[in-house]
């Protein structure tokens, strides 16, 4: 069953309408015409099920209604060729893209994040955090190091990062494609990936580990990211990963280029 949305007509829409009504979300006439009433019922059902409330009956909504067996989203990885990604990363050596793009794509596949929106999110996050498309250490700045202090001393006592004093600030500084930061994140995501990141935080800069960290970090925020994108609010999408507006200009620039180049209707 294909994705169903406003303007779609036919037997598949009639089945959708019947399933919505059976679930307690009345779309009105069961006439096979996806109109405003059906859209409203779909949105209400999506809210009820904790799905992205976009009014489009895609695989996850259809599976929740019992109309399809698989909720796998359309695989958009082939749209993100080396040539496309190179345009999103104007300052990255082509060799870095050729080396790391397949690693990132495989990590996203393992996390079941192969739809276009989440692939854009992953790549634009990398663009904002490491323009050269390679996992790196966070650099010293006025935001993490005091004027005459030790490197990253302003992170040492950050309770929100789970840090417990020196040398936690430097030890658990930002690393990788997503710039994983803080004792709490190293503990949480080390456990998720079954890696000793608390004892060996430098492993977050290994390309494969960095890609896996990026993928699971985004996985935990998928619904909120997609809602922000649906609302055309890239700043909020970026904030869900970074916690602020750092890198927002680069993030937005990469998004606009990638969105244009990977749009099948463009």
Query: Mind listing the pLDDT tens digit for each residue in 213-264?
Result: 999 999 999 999 999 999 999 999 999 998 878 899 999 999 999 999 998 7
Which residues lie below 8 Å from residue 265, measured CB to CB, with a gap of 6+? none
Alpha helices, H only, the chain: 11-22, 36-49, 59-64, 82-88, 94-110, 116-129, 168-171, 183-193, 207-219, 222-230, 234-242, 248-261
pLDDT at position 265 is: 63
Query: Mind listing the pLDDT tens digit for each residue in 151-187?
Result: 999 999 999 999 999 999 999 999 999 999 999 999 9
The predicted model gives 112-132 an average pLDDT of: 97
Domain ranges of the chain: 11-64, 77-135+212-261, 137-205
pLDDT at position 227 is: 94
pLDDT at position 1 is: 62
N-terminal to C-terminal alpha carbon distance within the chain: 24
pLDDT at position 16 is: 97
Q: Which fold has domain 137-205?
A: Endochitinase; domain 2 (3.30.20)
- Per cent of the chain over pLDDT 70 is 99
Joined tokens for residue 49 = 């099920």
- Per cent of the chain over pLDDT 90 is 94
Q: How far is CA 140 from CA 27, 95, 175, 239, in A?
A: 56, 26, 12, 21
As a whole number, the mean pLDDT across the chain is: 95
Read off the DSSP letter of residue 73: P
Q: Among 1.10.101.10, 3.30.1280.10, 3.90.180.10, 3.30.910.20, what is the CATH number of 11-64? A: 1.10.101.10
């Amino acid at each position: 069953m294909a994705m169903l949305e406003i303007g779609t007509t036919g037997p598949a829409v009639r089945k959708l309408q019947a399933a919505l009504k059976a679930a307690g979300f009345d779309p009105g006439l069961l006439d096979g015409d996806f109109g405003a009433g059906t859209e409203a019922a779909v949105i209400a059902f999506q809210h009820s099920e904790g799905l992205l409330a976009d009014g489009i009956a895609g695989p996850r909504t259809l599976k929740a209604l019992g109309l399809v067996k698989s909720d796998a989203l359309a695989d958009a990885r082939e749209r993100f060729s080396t040539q496309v990604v190179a345009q999103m990363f104007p300052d990255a050596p082509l060799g870095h893209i050729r080396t790391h793009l397949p690693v990132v794509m495989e990590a996203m596949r393992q996390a079941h994040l192969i739809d276009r929106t989440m692939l854009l999110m992953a790549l634009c996050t990398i663009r904002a955090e490491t323009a050269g498309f390679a996992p790196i250490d966070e650099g010293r700045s006025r935001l993490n190091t005091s004027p005459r202090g030790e490197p990253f001393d302003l992170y040492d006592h950050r309770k929100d990062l789970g840090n417990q004093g020196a040398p936690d600030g430097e030890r658990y500084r930002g690393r990788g494609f997503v710039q994983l930061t803080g004792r709490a994140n190293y503990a949480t995501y080390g456990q998720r990936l079954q890696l000793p990141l608390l004892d060996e935080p430098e492993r977050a800069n290994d390309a494969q580990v960095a890609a896996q960290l990026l993928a699971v970090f985004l996985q935990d925020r998928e619904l909120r990211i997609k809602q922000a994108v649906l609302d055309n609010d890239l700043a909020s999408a970026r904030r869900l990963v970074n916690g602020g507006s750092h890198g927002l200009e680069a993030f937005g620039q990469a998004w606009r280029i990638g969105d244009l180049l990977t749009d099948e209707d463009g």
